[in-house]
A and B are shown apart, each in its own frame.
Chain A
Amino acid sequence: MNTCVQTLVSPPPSLRAVPSDGPARRLPGDLAIWFFILAELLAFGAFFIAYAFARANNVELFNEQQLALDRNAGAINTILLLTSSYFVVRAVQAAEASQGRRAAMWIAGGIACGAGFIVVKLFEYAAKFEAGVSLSSSTFHMFYLVLTFFHFMHVILGLVILAALWNNARRGRYGPGSMNGIETGAAYWHMVDLVWLILFPLVYVMR
């Protein structure tokens, strides 16, 4: 009788609904990180839309001052973030295949690319500050600095997370049965990449 009741409340795996095309759908990593990611996406989205409508009210100023931005630096940074994301995906795949040391190597590659992003951005900021750009120099510059610096801080936090993942991976703490940590950190890093994919064409290219 007890077994019958238990079966009704929580059916055995063989009776649980699964998609006909394969295993059950699963959210990778910790549920909390996905709510955090949604909150971050909403914050970045609000900034992007505010920029777009501020530009609509002052197209000439935005177009003129955007010309002075370093599009090469922006493109190099896009490539660095995409490559870093790719390395992190390979790290997750390696951990899933019980290759902890290889996962650590891929994460180290991801950290190197993320550090490259920071270096390029610092050079870009240095050139802008030398040219007299500041938060108060124009509406465009205010948006440019706030948007890119907000993202910059997320890259730094992402690098701290990647460093923790690297440390755990090289100690063999990830594997097919213990993917939660690496999937959680990877999801955050991909979010940092995702928002840059909008930021680059919006601030550096659209005119």
Chain B
Amino acid sequence: MQTHQSSAHALSHSDHGTPLRATVIWAVLIAATIVTWSVGESGTTGPAIVGLLFSIAFGKGALIILDYMALRRAPLMWPLLALGWMTLVCALIGIAYWKGLAA
């Protein structure tokens, strides 16, 4: 009984979300991966496609950072640093892609 109560207490203040939330996020991540793979298989190219690819990558990364890494409830500096890293890397890849188009 005591164990049950402590479990309920732990879950009610969980930083790690619920099993249902984790499962829904997993399904979204897999669906997004299939979209990325389909784009690669279709052979379509161009700035809009690359924009889509890295928007998907950013969205997936944000879910991992905020939910799976449990930074949603961490001191603000940490999710901002991780999301800032994603933003910077995706933006610089986009700039490099534009540079390649112009070359």
Contacts and interface: CB of A to CB of B under 8 A. Distances in A.
Interface residues of B, number: 62
Interface stretch (A48-56, A121-129, A131-139, A150-158): A48-56
Chain A interface size band reads: 35 or more
A201 B36 contact: yes
A198 B57 contact: yes
A148 interface: no
Among A49, A99, A200, A206: residue with most chain B CB under 10 A: A206
Contact of A190 (B14, B68, B89, B99): B68
A75 B93 contact: no
Given A79-B30, A90-B19, A90-B22, A194 B64 contact: yes
Interface string A62-91: 000000000110110011001101101110
Nearest to A69: B40
A176 B69 contact: no
In terms of DSSP, what is the predominant structure of the interface of chain B? helix
A176 B45 contact: no
Given A55-B100, A82-B29, A176-B10, A205 B92 contact: no
Nearest to B74: A27
Interface string A1-32: 00000000000000000000011011110000
A105 interface: no
B55 to A, nearest CB: 10
B74 A49 contact: no
Contact of B78 (A27, A92, A98, A205): A27
B99 A56 contact: yes
The 7 closest A-B pairs by CB, nearest first: A52-B96, A56-B100, A205-B40, A75-B37, A176-B10, A86-B26, A56-B99
